[in-house]
């Protein structure tokens, strides 16, 4: 019987954790469809948070690469007074980056829904 309570408490804790994380993410970043992303990214700072090898394999035209693994050291390269458009391969890294940037005072943060994997627009390869 105790085992059932422990499992139930653990599951409840996980559900609460995911709900809180989801609410924090919704406050930090606005998800945009590809069409919405295309409409605004030329007037914003377009940041690809994937690793350099992924970036070199193909990226959205006009993006600069600041990998999420280097964001703590390089976030000041992104202006806080201009909109920031983020993307990664499938949205997980860009979501974490958005939460980090929000903590640093950025408030105009947008993310490409589905990430680069679903991008059908223009790309540049090296």
Q: What angle do CA 106, 87, 18 make, to 5 degrees?
A: 75
Helix (H, G, I), strand (E, B) or coil at 84: strand
Active-site annotation, residues:
88
CA distance 46 to 28: 17
């Amino acid at each position: 019987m105790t085992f059932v309570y422990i499992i139930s408490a653990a599951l409840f804790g996980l559900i609460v954790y995911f709900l809180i994380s989801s609410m924090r993410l919704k406050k930090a970043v606005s998800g945009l469809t590809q069409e919405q992303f295309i409409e605004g990214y030329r007037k914003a700072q377009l940041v690809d948070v994937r690793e350099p090898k992924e970036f070199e394999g193909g990226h959205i035209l006009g993006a600069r690469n600041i990998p999420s693994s280097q964001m703590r050291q390089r976030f000041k390269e992104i202006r806080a007074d201009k909109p920031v458009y983020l993307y990664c391969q499938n949205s997980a890294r860009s979501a974490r980056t958005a939460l980090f940037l929000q903590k640093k005072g950025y408030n105009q943060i947008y993310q490409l829904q589905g990430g680069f994997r679903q991008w059908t627009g223009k790309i540049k390869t090296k």
